[in-house]
Amino acid sequence: MTLSTITALSPLDGRYASKVSALRPLLSEYGLMHRRVQVEVEWFIALSDAGLDGFAPLSEASRGLLRGLVTRFSDADAAAIKDIEKTTNHDVKAVEYWLKARFEGQAELEAASEFVHFACTSEDINNTSHALMLKAAREQVMLPAIDRIVAKLTAMAQAFAAVPMLSRTHGQTASPTTVGKEIANVVARLRRARQVIAEVQLLAKMNGAVGNYNAHSTAYPGTDWEAFSRRVVEQQLGLVFNPYTIQIEPHDYMAELFDAFTRLDTILIDFSRDVWGYISLGYFKQKLKDGEVGSSAMPHKVNPIDFENAEGNFGLANALLAHLAQKLPISRWQRDLTDSTVLRNMGVALGYALLGYDSLARGLDKLELNEAALAADLDEAWEVLAEAIQTVMRRHALPKPYEQLKAFTRGKPMTRELIQGFIGGLDLPQAEKDRLLAMTPADYTGRAAELARRIGG
């Protein structure tokens, strides 16, 4: 069977391929090969500048040729490396051999070819490559997708800041809020979660087979290899140097990063479920699109599928991200290979998160607020003013205010007339009584509108 978007085993490479395509060049095996070439090239160039016997600084022409291999890395280059791997059965060694093959006909580079992968273990190349992959995915794809959602929700919080809405604590009628304030709550949570994602430091090491510069120090005992490695990691690769490792960088930063994505995704699961419920209550309508079908049997249906898809894909993402975060920091003794196969699924985990962001963004674009439904719901819930009335009664030291309102309202249908009749019989100053009599459920929103507007600042 020919591999295509229809026959692909993973829906990320099939049905949803176009929605996660931005991650493909960054977190695929192609992306890993690309970063391996980058790391090998930068290590090689740095060695030439280190003053080592037998390796003079490279000419600008050679440096340009080497870095051009990175900037012009292509599908054909990746395929050539895979062909070499068929013989080596080792993916990092295949990159080394491919790079050396590019030196043919370049006398300066051929003479120094044994400094490619010099004193490196495969994990020196892999851990830096994985960090570079995550750096690019975070900066170029994931954070911009999150920012689009936050920007959309911030605009909605502003637009609906003063639109009153009945709250439902425990699913029951409760003190009113505004639509904008409820969305502002989500914005505040997302901003904090987004900041945590953005601030996770991406660590890397280049210190040899067990983290002690054994081979480096044997070949060139007079060189400060730790300082050298730090310069390559931080100045040439733009990562954060980790001085204490076994053969592998311990992946603690990856656990932090994946946990941070999980927390943000969990916030969006919570929000997706709430919006689904508000659509069910009629608070939001969904814009119609010609040709779309909501049900194969019920023609009237307009299903909230975008929010359902978002919830489902965030769940998949979080399951994978949680496994990555829990497994990757564990390695038997100085190294085992259980992390290697798991790390190949970074793109799958983040791909499902990205798919969730896409679904949620599309769902938000379809929403239309139904203020009539919101107003009707509020007008059927006069009992929510019981909180306001009993609190004013407490202020003026009336006897057993909570108990009076409990006996009057609990489990009984309340109307404007009943509530206002109760207020009229209270021994309150007339100004207080008039204020309570003028209040409606739609008015009883506290500082919700102000808080919602402030989220845009």
pLDDT tens for 165-223 read 999 999 999 999 999 999 999 999 999 999 999 999 999 999 999 999 999 999 999 99
Structural tokens at position 443: 């008015």
State yes or no: pLDDT of 335 exceeds 60. yes
Structural tokens at position 60: 């600008």
Q: Which of 35-49, 276-290, 338-352, 427-441 has the lowest mean pLDDT?
A: 276-290
State yes or no: pLDDT of 290 exceeds 90. no
Q: Give me the pLDDT at residue 303, please.
A: 84
Q: Give me the pLDDT at residue 302, please.
A: 74
Contact 203, 162 (CB under 8 A): no
Q: 176 by DSSP, 3-state: which?
A: strand
Task: Give residue-wise pLDDT tens across range 431-457.
Answer: 999 999 999 999 999 999 999 999 987
Distances (CA, A) of 25 to 297, 368, 382: 41, 36, 57
d(CA 110, CA 107): 5
Cross-strand bridge partners of residue 241 = 204
Q: Give me the pLDDT at residue 35, please.
A: 98
**What Rg, from alpha-carbon coordinates, does the chain have?**
31
How do 203-204 and 240-241 pair as beta strands? parallel
Residue 212: phi and psi, rounded to 5, are -120, 5
For the segment 103-116, the average pLDDT, to the nearest whole number, is 98
Contacts 24+ apart (CB under 8 A), 209-218: 209/121, 209/247, 210/246, 210/247, 210/334, 210/335, 211/244, 211/245, 211/246, 211/247, 211/334, 213/119, 215/119, 216/119
For the segment 70-93, the average pLDDT, to the nearest whole number, is 98
Structural tokens at position 267: 């916030």
State yes or no: pLDDT of 297 exceeds 90. no
d(CA 235, CA 228): 10
State the chain's mean pLDDT as an integer.
96
Residue 352: phi and psi, rounded to 5, are -70, -35
Q: Give me the pLDDT at residue 287, please.
A: 85
Task: Give residue-wise pLDDT tens across range 143-153.
Answer: 999 999 999 99
User: Could you tell me what percent of the chain has a pLDDT over 90?
Assistant: 95
Q: Give me the pLDDT at residue 189, please.
A: 98
Q: 303 by DSSP, 3-state: which?
A: coil
For residue 43, what is the enclosing H or E element? helix 29-48
Cite the active site residues.
170, 295
Task: Give residue-wise pLDDT tens across range 215-272.
Answer: 999 999 999 999 999 999 999 999 999 999 999 999 999 999 999 999 999 999 999 9
Cross-strand bridge partners of residue 393 = none
Length of the chain: 457
Give this prediction's pTM: 0.95
Q: Give me the pLDDT at residue 288, please.
A: 76
Residue 290: phi and psi, rounded to 5, are -55, 135
Distances (CA, A) of 259 to 50, 132, 141, 156, 253: 39, 19, 18, 28, 10
Q: Give me the pLDDT at residue 291, please.
A: 63
d(CA 150, CA 456): 10
Q: 92 by DSSP, 3-state: which?
A: helix
